[in-house]
Amino acid sequence: MTSHSKIGFLLIHGVGSNCAVMKPLEDFLTNKGFKVFNITLPGHNTSSKDLLKIGWQDWVDYCQGKLEILMEDCPTTFIAGTSLGGVLALYLAATNPELSGVITCATAVKPYNFLSWFITNFRVIQYFVRWIRVEKISSKLVGNPQNWEVYKKIPMKSLVEIAKLLDKLNPILENISQPILIVHSENDKAVSIKGIEQIISSISSRDQSIARIGKGGHVIMLDEGCTQALTEIENWIDVRI
């Protein structure tokens, strides 16, 4: 055991993937002696049809439960998430003021492209377009990191559930006062760099840091920007523990 064993990290992946997306960060933190929960969200890593049964509240409740278990052992607890996981991390930071800090990767809190805007404003689309094939949008929006997707298709319902989650998150973003690190790739084609401004302008945290990653894309931890991202995260953590 090291002196870091009472410092915990909850890691949350994005929609359509699983905990493997955060494995490089998990390994990095574990090697430093931190206690790490790298979770897989409900409806993931089984069958894509299982996502049809899952709503945004199911994701929040699952993350909250894991967070509470982690916090029982770790008086100092951080939460880190990528994409949807970043949105969930912000939600938990807003509703758990005792959290020690939050890290978001490739995260936006408002519509960031035409598809997200359309889904946000015309949610009835889920009854007409039931599935989105990941491989059709992957190379264009995500790039080609290896093995990031678990499902070849995801239900439109899941994207609508993310929009509902954002409905709940945006009014409480001002409750976030913890230290925050926002990690974003300048080459991310799925979530605009404007996502940084969206978060910064809405939260109350005085301790705000931004890490702009020069390489890779949306799936930062599995892409070329991983090394830089891990270095930025390490430097941020070192002065806050």
- CATH number at 31 reads 3.40.50.1820
Highest-scoring range by mean pLDDT, 38-42, 127-131, 134-138: 38-42
pTM to 2 decimal places: 0.92
Read off the pLDDT of residues 201-214 as tens digits, 9 standing for 90 and up: 999 999 999 999 99
Read off the pLDDT of residues 130-161 as tens digits, 9 standing for 90 and up: 888 776 555 555 555 555 666 788 999 999 99
Q: How many domains does the chain have?
A: 1
The residue range of the domain holding 43 is 3-238
Alpha helix ranges (H) inside the chain: 23-31, 56-73, 84-95, 114-121, 134-137, 156-169, 194-200, 226-238
Do residues 56 and 165 lie in contact, with contact meaning Cβ atoms separated by under 8 Å?
yes
Q: Three-state DSSP class for 41?
A: coil
